[in-house]
Chain A
Amino acid sequence: MLTVSDLQVSYGAISALGGISFKIEPGAIVTLIGGNGAGKTTTLRTVSGLLRAKTGKIEFLGEDITALPAHKIVARGLCHVPEGRMIFSNLTVDENLAMGAYLLTDHALIAKNRDYVFSIFPRLNERLKQTAGTLSGGEQQMLAIGRALMGSPKFLMLDEPSLGIAPRLISTIFEKIVEINRSHGITILLVEQNANLALEISSYAYVLETGRIVMAGESKQLRNDPQLKATYLGG
């Protein structure tokens, strides 16, 4: 579904990604784990078109999307739920969801997507007229994911969905991520600092360290890897 080859990205003279390659099969949940500054967010931002690659190639559904602007990448069904949620804080929940469906013109499809979002996150339906900035961290994350689902994505990239969320809500969010993947067959690339959780729900994982992929494998194998345990899984 997504093939990234030899991707290099730099901020000015500072290299953020030193040539990474990975592949994501349709229908999978794949995770990208790694510490602060490893390049996880940079990877997602480059794939979604917010950042430009220095060299390398990004292919989505067999087509080269490396040079496309962000809004054209979304139009192809690749949707990025950014770190820090980036909901439109002064807009209502309703308006945020409407913006998620910005590229859709079929009203029946928009209504169907809304129902689907509410079936996953009933809380959003209760808060429809509320200004998004007044939601709790967990609700904002639900809104960010819900907004992305409004655009009928084929592939969803989630950046740190557990960040700044009450611990009891984290497991809810992760259950919903699995549900989205299972019920709608939406492929998911999950970036997480909480490596334990990420390895639990994913089938395949890549480990990123200072802009390079240092390890890759099936999640259940990586969970038992002694070196990975020591570094990311807290012994």
Chain B
Amino acid sequence: MAEFLQQLLNGLSLGAIYALIALGYTMVYGVLRFINFAHSDVFMVGSFIGYYAGKLVPENTIWGGLIVLVISMVGCAILGMTIERLAYRPLRGAATLNVLIAAIGVSLLLEYSGQVFFGAAPRTFPALFPSINFSVGGLVLSTNQLLVIVVTTLLMVALQFIVHRTKIGTAMRAVSLNPKAAQLVGINIDVVISFTFALGSALAAAGGILYALNYPSIDPLMGVMPGLKAFVAAVLGGIGNIPGAALGGLILGVVETFVNGSQWSTYKDAIAFAILIIIMLFRPAGLLGKFTIEKV
């Protein structure tokens, strides 16, 4: 039982990070109907901003850690808006495939410029927050793990508030439902799309910091695998659906952790993706997605 709870906790903290990244995929899909493949690299840049900003504040302090978190989120929000403005906006109205190819291009650009600027060798991420391991009833908990869960929960509550209780959030949902009608009530969809990229990228940055705190070796290609899994999580939950992305991330994290702790640990990724395929066979629109026929 203790082992089960331990694995569940480990899984939830990993899943929370997938969820943070998955939200960015799903929100951008919601307003633009394409997968922003560069999103996983924004996550990587988030870690690196954290790495450099971490050198400017004392280690092992809560305020220092929080400042680094905020700097990284703001930095990535700006990066996300810049990517949208330079790479995707000129392609607005073009076939989705063209935008997808552009997204892959941006992804490769970030990865390999990362290797130029940061170097290809892995770096050790600083211990930003004070970290203690302690045990409760046979469970070994680390404060960094709890930090992941607390920060993710707070960010999701904030996101839920923005999306459902603010004007810009309602406008985001309106654009996602019907961009034409949104323009006809006076919504500037460029502004809403920029805002969506900023929001998604800030969440990815938070994911990048939290991930690096728990797996403190960062390199310019570190985003590839978590990004892919977060994308899977977004599809699993129902792409375009915000609670779906969070649920998908948590499920994927928990499954991966349990498989990793079993005798089939070598196949953890294969099993995670097999589960995705099985769920998609029965629920093609994802767990919380609604099946709609693409209008042409």
A binds B: yes
A residues contacting B by CB (< 8 A) are 48-50, 69-71, 74-75, 79-82, 86-91, 95, 98-100, 102-103, 147-148, 151
Chain B residue nearest in CB terms to A76: B186
- Please determine whether A80 and B184 come into contact, CB atoms closer than 8 angstroms: yes
Chain B residues, CB < 8 A from A79: 184
Contact of A147 among B171, B185, B189 (CB under 8 A): B185
Known: A86-B178, A88-B177, A90-B177. A98 touches B184 (CB 8 A): no
Which residues B217-266 have CB closer than 8 A to chain A?
none
Contact of B186 among A74, A87, A95, A98 (CB under 8 A): A74
Known: A86-B178, A88-B178, A98-B167. A70 touches B173 (CB 8 A): no
- Please determine whether A48 and B167 come into contact, CB atoms closer than 8 angstroms: no
* Residue B180, interface by CB 8 Å: yes
Question: What is the total number of residues of chain B having a CB less than 8 Å from a CB of chain A?
Answer: 17
Chain B residues, CB < 8 A from A86: 178, 180-181, 184
Chain B nearest CB from A230 CB (Å) reads: 36
**Which 3 A-B pairs rank lowest in CB-CB distance, beginning with the nearest?**
A86-B181, A70-B183, A74-B186
Inter-chain CA distance A74–B171, complex, in Å, is 15
Which residues B126-147 have CB closer than 8 A to chain A?
none
Chain B residues, CB < 8 A from A88: 173-174, 177-178, 181-182
* Residue B78, interface by CB 8 Å: no
Chain B residue nearest in CB terms to A86: B181
A–B pairs, 17, beta carbons within 8 Å: A49-B183, A70-B183, A74-B184, A74-B185, A74-B186, A80-B184, A86-B180, A88-B174, A90-B177, A91-B174, A95-B170, A95-B173, A99-B182, A99-B187, A103-B185, A103-B186, A147-B185
Chain B nearest CB from A153 CB (Å) reads: 10
Known: A86-B178, A98-B167. A91 touches B173 (CB 8 A): yes
- Which of B174, B183, B185, B186 has most chain A Cβ within 10 Å? B185
Chain B nearest CB from A107 CB (Å) reads: 12
Chain B residue nearest in CB terms to A74: B186
Chain A residue nearest in CB terms to B189: A71
Inter-chain CA distance A49–B189, complex, in Å, is 13
- Please determine whether B173 and A100 come into contact, CB atoms closer than 8 angstroms: no
* Residue B61, interface by CB 8 Å: no
* Residue B60, interface by CB 8 Å: no
- Please determine whether A82 and B173 come into contact, CB atoms closer than 8 angstroms: no
Inter-chain CA distance A148–B189, complex, in Å, is 18
Chain A residues, CB < 8 A from B178: 86, 88
Chain B nearest CB from A64 CB (Å) reads: 19
B residues contacting A by CB (< 8 A) are 167, 170-171, 173-174, 177-178, 180-189
Chain B residues, CB < 8 A from A90: 173, 177
- Please determine whether B181 and A71 come into contact, CB atoms closer than 8 angstroms: no
- Please determine whether B174 and A99 come into contact, CB atoms closer than 8 angstroms: yes
Inter-chain CA distance A74–B186, complex, in Å, is 5
Known: A99-B174, A102-B171. A151 touches B180 (CB 8 A): no
Inter-chain CA distance A89–B171, complex, in Å, is 13
Contact of A102 among B173, B177, B180, B186 (CB under 8 A): B186
- Please determine whether A99 and B185 come into contact, CB atoms closer than 8 angstroms: yes
Inter-chain CA distance A69–B188, complex, in Å, is 9
- Please determine whether A99 and B171 come into contact, CB atoms closer than 8 angstroms: yes
Chain A residue nearest in CB terms to B168: A102
Chain B nearest CB from A85 CB (Å) reads: 9
- Please determine whether A91 and B177 come into contact, CB atoms closer than 8 angstroms: yes
- Please determine whether A102 and B185 come into contact, CB atoms closer than 8 angstroms: yes
Chain A nearest CB from B293 CB (Å) reads: 15
Inter-chain CA distance A81–B186, complex, in Å, is 12
Contact of B184 among A70, A89, A91 (CB under 8 A): A70
Inter-chain CA distance A107–B181, complex, in Å, is 23
Inter-chain CA distance A217–B282, complex, in Å, is 60
- Please determine whether B180 and A71 come into contact, CB atoms closer than 8 angstroms: no
Chain B residues, CB < 8 A from A71: 183, 186-189
Inter-chain CA distance A95–B166, complex, in Å, is 10
Chain A nearest CB from B193 CB (Å) reads: 13
- Please determine whether A89 and B177 come into contact, CB atoms closer than 8 angstroms: yes
Inter-chain CA distance A88–B184, complex, in Å, is 12
Inter-chain CA distance A50–B182, complex, in Å, is 11
- Please determine whether A82 and B174 come into contact, CB atoms closer than 8 angstroms: no
- Please determine whether A50 and B180 come into contact, CB atoms closer than 8 angstroms: yes
Inter-chain CA distance A90–B109, complex, in Å, is 37
Inter-chain CA distance A70–B185, complex, in Å, is 9
Inter-chain CA distance A50–B180, complex, in Å, is 7
Inter-chain CA distance A74–B189, complex, in Å, is 13
- Please determine whether A50 and B170 come into contact, CB atoms closer than 8 angstroms: no
Known: A71-B186, A75-B186, A99-B187. A87 touches B170 (CB 8 A): no
Chain B nearest CB from A112 CB (Å) reads: 18
Chain B residues, CB < 8 A from A49: 183
